[in-house]
Amino acid sequence: MENALKGSCIIGQSGGPTSVINSSAYGVIRTALDNENITRVFGAAHGIKGVLNDQLYDMGEEDAKELELLMNTPSSELGSCRYKMADPDSDDTDYQRILEIFKKYNVRYFFYNGGNDSMDTCDKISRFMDKSGWECRVMGVPKTIDNDLYNTDHCPGFASAAKYIATSCAEIYKDARVYDTGMVCIVEIMGRHAGWLTAASALAGTIGCGPDLIYLPETDFDMDRFVADVERVYKERGNCLVAVSEGVHYADGRFVSEAKTSATDGFGHAQLGGLASLLAAVIKDRLNVKVRGIELSLLQRCAAHAASAVDVNEAFMAGKIAVESAVAGETGKMVAFKRAGCGEYKCEYVLVPLTSVANYEKKVPAEWITPDGTGVTQDFIDYALPLIQGSVDRPTENGMPRYARLKKVLAK
Residues carrying an active site annotation:
146
CB of 10 to a second copy, least distance (A): 17
Segment interacting with a second copy, rule: CB under 8 A, options 2-10, 100-108, 278-286, 344-352 = 278-286
CB of 303 to a second copy, least distance (A): 6
Find all residues with CB under 8 Å of 24, minimum gap 6, and list them: 113, 141, 143, 156, 315, 316, 318, 319
Strands 333-339 and 347-353: antiparallel
* Angle (nearest 5°) at CA 76 between 99 and 322: 55
CB of 172 to a second copy, least distance (A): 5
Q: Binding marks (x or -) toward a second copy, 3..42, rule CB under 8 A?
A: -------------xx-------------------------
Distance CA 117, CA 412 (A): 29
CB of 326 to a second copy, least distance (A): 25
8 A C-beta contact, residue 153 and residue 347: yes
CB of 184 to a second copy, least distance (A): 13
Residue closer to a second copy by CB (options 296, 335) is 296
Residue from the set 87, 89, 252, 397 that interacts with a second copy by CB under 8 A: 397
Residue closer to a second copy by CB (options 237, 269) is 269
Q: Does 106 bind a second copy (CB under 8 A)?
A: no
Backbone Cα Rg of the chain: 23
Q: Does 272 bind a second copy (CB under 8 A)?
A: yes
Q: Which helix (H) or strand (E) holds 142?
A: strand 137-142
Distance CA 411, CA 13 (A): 17
Q: Which helix (H) or strand (E) holds 285?
A: helix 275-287
> How many other CB atoms sit within 10 Å of the CB of residue 367?
10
CB of 329 to a second copy, least distance (A): 33
Site for a second copy in 62-91 (CB under 8 A): 73-76, 79-82
Residue from the set 30, 40, 46, 363 that interacts with a second copy by CB under 8 A: 46
Residue closer to a second copy by CB (options 299, 350) is 299
Residue closer to a second copy by CB (options 73, 152) is 73
Site for a second copy in 287-346 (CB under 8 A): 292-299, 301-306, 308
The gap between the terminal CA atoms of the chain, to the nearest Å, is 30
Site for a second copy in 178-197 (CB under 8 A): 178-180, 185
8 A C-beta contact, residue 406 and residue 76: no
8 A C-beta contact, residue 111 and residue 12: yes
Site for a second copy in 236-255 (CB under 8 A): none
Bridge partners for 185 per DSSP: 241, 292
Q: For the chain, give the number of residues.
A: 412
8 A C-beta contact, residue 300 and residue 197: yes
Residue from the set 7, 60, 88, 274 that interacts with a second copy by CB under 8 A: 274
Site for a second copy in 133-172 (CB under 8 A): 163, 166-168, 170-172
User: Can you say how many angstroms the Cα of residue 270 is from the centroid of all Cα atoms in its chain?
Assistant: 24
Residue from the set 66, 385, 408, 410 that interacts with a second copy by CB under 8 A: 385
CB of 337 to a second copy, least distance (A): 18
Distance CA 50, CA 72 (A): 24
In one-letter notation, the amino acid at residue 312 is V
Residue closer to a second copy by CB (options 87, 393) is 393
Site for a second copy in 203-222 (CB under 8 A): 203-204, 206-209
